[in-house]
Chain A
Amino acid sequence: MADTPIDRLARATPSSLARRVRGLSDRAIAWVFVTPTILLLLAINIFPLIWTVRLSFTNFAANKPNAEVKWVGLRNYTRILTDPDIWQTMQATAHFLFWTLLFQVVIGFSLAWLINRKFRGNDLLTTLIVLPMMLSPAVVGNFWTFLYEPQIGLFNYAVEFFTGIPASSFSMLGSVTLAPWSIVIADTWMWTPFVMLICLAGLRSIPDYIYEAAEVDRASKWRQFWTMTVPMVLPFLMLAVLFRGIENFKMFDLVVQLTGGGPGSTTLLTSIELKREAFEKWRTGYSSAYAIILFVTVFGLASIYVKALNKVKER
């Protein structure tokens, strides 16, 4: 007789319990397994979400638990949606999102394309390229602050070397024009390897025989790239964009470390503003409404995007 752990568990199960389980349908057993997870999800995801929706219609402040909580209807929502400062943070977030995604996709895909060839030191190079994404965003923010220093920063010296513009004549973090680009550059440096890895997985999933068949048909390299490589990697690329898009919509640590939202409010992203409203000003009701608006925005955009992604996969 076999003596596997399953057998031992079966023997150890009291016969009364075993009888009861034996009497359950497959569907009921499935529910038994799934229920703890559903309860956990309800407790840590759904309930807080519903609670946040409720709070968003009140003037509740978490630092004044004994104060009277008033129902304010849609006031928090109208205040947010008509506040030009909030729209400015949305604009700053959109700028950051658009350019980081564009750069990361272009550079990430190009790197993956280059590294997908067989050459000596390929593995070492891949490891070196992915190093930035393994660092903590706080650390990356800190050392990019030094790199951007007008007097001692390597970045400014590199710009001087290539363009002749004096290093100390411009400040990446202090200039209204340059600061939004400074956070885009730092984030691109850190997260391009992530996009590269996903693209690399896509490129390596394309079977060699497809290219061999294309060679037989005398398809040019350019045609192979546009009609075979790009369409087959596209679902992977779109997935990378989805992950990075959601992550960058929530971007906080790197930007706080680099600019603190400044100069002025030039790099004040929605997540930084939300944190200030919620945990510095303690306007819990207001910030709940703000969080709901952001949630609906991300959820809506992500849903549309996932539909598009599924269509691409079906092609």
Chain B
Amino acid sequence: MKSHYLAATAAACLTLSMNQGAQAEDLTLCWAAWDPANALVELSKEFESQSGHKMTFEFVPWTNFADRMLNELNSGGKLCDLMIGDSQWIGAGAESGHYIKLSDFFDANGISMSDFVPATVTGYSEWPKGTPNYWALPAFGDVVGWTYRKDWFARPEIQAAFKEKTGRDLTPPATFAELKEVAEFFQGREIDGKTVYGASIYTERGSEGITMGVMDVLYSFGFKYDNPDKPYDMEGFVNSPGAVEGLEFYKALYDCCTPPGASNSYMGEGIDAYKSGQVALQMNFAFTWPGFEVDPNVGGGKTGYLVNPAGPTGERFAQLGGQGISVVSYSEKQDAALEYIKWFAQPEVQQKWWSMGGFSALRSVVEDPAFAASQPYAQTYLDSMAIVKDFWAEPAYASLLQATQKRFHDYVVAGEGTAKEALDGLVQDWTEVFQDEGKL
């Protein structure tokens, strides 16, 4: 009988200790305030019911997201246990010790980075790039692409007018030259009694807008961040003749074909311009696409989706967006945060994530034969993710970005100097930043 009591007491102690190990935590996830964040709130309810942890969310509008969250990380703040941070933060996150390294955790829990789209692993998780050191799990794949008014393109009178003006059929642009031609055609045209404009492109000055837009074009014109054989050697790569041509193209597109007053446009302004029927073409991140499908003005088949057009030599690249999810090193609830990441990496959760509007980066989801037909934009998303490039992800990325914002806005919007001068100046600025960082 005594042994029965002993066993019962031991079992009780074990149960108690297990319960203590799996103590319910109040986890805070920090991200930008946008549609996918709302979908994640819904998705996370499943995690709450399974784990017993409570999820709270701190969402900050995009224009203040980097400021707010980088200040939080730099000050060693404990607000966020989980951070879905921008891809460019990964260098600072790793080197300044803001994120915990996840490589061993992934190995121990059977999470393989080869299960994710390679570009997202490189873009969101690795630091240094190209090494198996992972600081985040790809959470939201995103890329800059284009939407166009399919319904306008299909109108016989518009098709005829375009053919008369250009001598060719009105088709979705496959090259940047065609894109400009289409944008010029629509600029100032009357459609349904309203004046419409060619294209909405990124021109925002304050955060990262114009850099994302210009880079999205420059890559396909031959721009490279540095010499592939000699890191940080930028002369002749950043300011190559192709890059100069690309920057001139962007300015020409801004001058000829954007709506009046579009001198400070980013994601939100692009969405507004497109949904309100102001523009025929719109540059924006893929995350905006689900919203267009359900919009009464531009949804229901009125919108077409385009991979970034090709440059003059046929090269075609696109600017990477999106984020990975990391565990903040200052968090006191790291075990629970890791549980969340383990749960989020599951294929069935990722599948659900995609169906709710989250752009999964898990290959089993995006390579599923049914994926391409699952949404009108799914194939475009897949094709775009195959050609992505990203901005510097160095710890000094903010300084590199600020210099870029200034050079591009000065030239494209303010019309100061030439494209060559802007890119030469950029080489000078970036060199100075890398010298300060001790990398040159």
List the interface of chain A (C-beta within 8 A of B): 59, 62-64, 85, 148-151, 153, 168-171, 173-176, 256, 259-266, 276, 279-283
Interchain CA distance A261-B405 in the complex, whole Å: 11
Closest Cβ of chain A: how far from B338's Cβ, in Å?
25
Is there contact, CB below 8 Å, between A151 and B259?
yes
Interchain CA distance A263-B399 in the complex, whole Å: 19
Across the two chains, which residue of chain A brings its CB closest to B263?
A174
Interchain CA distance A281-B413 in the complex, whole Å: 23
Interface: B314 (CB within 8 A): no
Is there contact, CB below 8 Å, between A282 and B398?
yes
Interface: B415 (CB within 8 A): yes
Interchain CA distance A173-B396 in the complex, whole Å: 30
What string of 1s and 0s marks CB contacts (under 8 Å) between B197-210 and chain A?
00000001110000
Interchain CA distance A208-B420 in the complex, whole Å: 68
Interface: B373 (CB within 8 A): no
Is there contact, CB below 8 Å, between A263 and B206?
no
Interchain CA distance A174-B205 in the complex, whole Å: 11
Is there contact, CB below 8 Å, between B67 and A262?
no
Interface: B92 (CB within 8 A): yes
A280 and B67 in contact (CB under 8 A), knowing A64-B96, A259-B205, A266-B414?
Answer: yes
Interchain CA distance A170-B261 in the complex, whole Å: 8
Interface: B262 (CB within 8 A): yes
Which single member of B71, B263, B411 contacts A279 (CB below 8 Å)? B71
Is there contact, CB below 8 Å, between A151 and B261?
yes
Interchain CA distance A264-B210 in the complex, whole Å: 11
Is there contact, CB below 8 Å, between B264 and A260?
yes
Is there contact, CB below 8 Å, between A261 and B205?
yes
Is there contact, CB below 8 Å, between B261 and A264?
no
Is there contact, CB below 8 Å, between B402 and A263?
no
Interface: B25 (CB within 8 A): no
What string of 1s and 0s marks CB contacts (under 8 Å) between B416-428 and chain A?
1000000000000
Which single member of B96, B260, B413 contacts A63 (CB below 8 Å)? B96
Closest Cβ of chain A: how far from B401's Cβ, in Å?
8
Is there contact, CB below 8 Å, between B262 and A262?
no
Is there contact, CB below 8 Å, between B264 and A262?
yes
Is there contact, CB below 8 Å, between A171 and B261?
yes
Is there contact, CB below 8 Å, between B92 and A279?
no
Contacts of A264 in B (CB 8 A): 205, 406, 409-411, 413-416
Contacts of B410 in A (CB 8 A): 264-265
Is there contact, CB below 8 Å, between B74 and A265?
no
Is there contact, CB below 8 Å, between B402 and A280?
yes
Most buried by A among B204, B260, B396, B415: B260
Interchain CA distance A168-B196 in the complex, whole Å: 12
Is there contact, CB below 8 Å, between A168 and B260?
yes
4 new A-B contacts, CB < 8 A, other than A168-B260, A173-B263, are: A150-B260, A176-B414, A176-B416, A264-B410
Interchain CA distance A265-B66 in the complex, whole Å: 21
Is there contact, CB below 8 Å, between A171 and B263?
yes
Is there contact, CB below 8 Å, between B204 and A260?
yes
A260 and B206 in contact (CB under 8 A), knowing A64-B96, A176-B415, A281-B399?
Answer: yes
Contacts of A151 in B (CB 8 A): 259-261, 278
User: Using a CB-CB cutoff of 8 Å, which residues 68-114 of chain B contact chain A?
Assistant: 70-71, 74, 92, 96
CB-based closest 8 A-B pairs = A264-B414, A174-B263, A260-B206, A262-B205, A150-B260, A264-B410, A150-B261, A63-B74
Is there contact, CB below 8 Å, between B74 and A174?
no
Interchain CA distance A69-B363 in the complex, whole Å: 45
